[in-house]
Amino acid sequence: MDSWLFLQNQLLPALFEGLIVTLQLIALSAPFGLLTGTLIAVGRTYGDRNLSFLCQLYVIFFKGCPLLLLLFIIYFGLPSLGISFSPFFASVLGFILCNGAYSSEYIRGAIQSVKTGQILAAQALGMTKWQGVFFIILPQAFRRALPGVGNEIIYLIKYSSLAHIITCIELTGAGKIVAARTFRFTETFAVIGLIYLLLVSIATQLLRWLEKRTSYPGMERG
């Protein structure tokens, strides 16, 4: 009975508020991370030498920089340069930059798997090079990159728990506050783990459904 009252009166209300913040972090970071990754992949594959080099530097830096360190740099380091962000925006920015770097590699690989002759065919039909890239190549590349990009979204759900380190009180942060106040760490983090498991399971099923909806003949497994 005591555990049930703890869950009902203290833990679940706090975790619900934290869950709302977690969902907001994911909802903002995932699409903008994908957009960033797409632009980096396109610039690296089809840009001139300078643009390709800059995109490659972006990937090297943000893949090599640990996410926690990146959040510290954005939230605690940039204010010394006169650039300050709220904990929520700093978290979203860090997640976008990191997610974009990894997603760009999946998308770049998918782009390179599409035959380059399709660009020439598009230009023969009157399209410019960039129209061919965005209307012919990318739709095919997205289908092929979806499993890898979807994996990054799964990682993002779990990585969102790092936001509380820079005082953005999401799901894990809300649970940590309750646990520190009540010393009921086992129940608190067990419930948090179950909520993350539920979020990941829902995202996995949605991604599988999306893969089936976007598949075309020749992509199916034998």
Each residue's pLDDT tens digit, 35-67:
999 999 999 999 899 999 999 999 999 999 999
Three-state secondary structure readout of 174-203: HHHHHHHHHCCHHHHHHHHHHHHHHHHHHH
| Tokens describing residue 62 | 């943000």
- The span from the CA of 216 to the CA of 10, in Å, is 49
Number of domains in the chain: 1
Percent of the chain's residues with pLDDT above 90? 70
Average pLDDT of the chain is 91
Read off the CATH number of the domain in which 23 is found. 1.10.3720.10
pLDDT at residue 43, as a whole number: 94
- The answer to whether position 160 is within a domain reads yes
| Amino acid identity, position 31 | P
Q: Is residue 221 part of a domain?
A: no
**pLDDT tops 80 at residue 114:** yes
pLDDT of residue 11: 86
Look at residue 4 in the predicted model and tell me its pLDDT.
73
Please spell the DSSP secondary structure of 8-65, one letter per residue. IIIIHHHHHHHHHHHHHHHHHHHHHHHHHHHHHHHHHHHS-HHHHHHHHHHHHHHHHS
Q: What is the mean pLDDT of residues 64-88?
A: 95
Interval 160-184: pLDDT, tens: 999 999 999 999 999 999 999 988 8
pLDDT in tens, 20-30: 999 999 999 99
Q: Is residue 222 domain-resident?
A: no
How large a percentage of the chain has pLDDT more than 70? 96
Is residue 153 in a domain? Answer: yes
By CB atoms closer than 10 A (0-12, 13-18, 19+), residue 29 is buried
Q: Is residue 34 part of a domain?
A: yes
Distance, in Å, from the CA atom of 15 to the CA atom of 195, rounded to the nearest integer, reads: 9
The answer to whether residue 220 is domain-embedded is no
Cβ atoms 25, 163 nearer than 8 A: yes
Range of the domain at 167: 2-214
Does residue 119 register a pLDDT over 50?
Answer: yes
Q: Which 3 state secondary structure label does DSSP give 139?
A: helix
* 110 domain-assigned: yes
Alpha-carbon span 132 to 128, nearest angstrom: 6
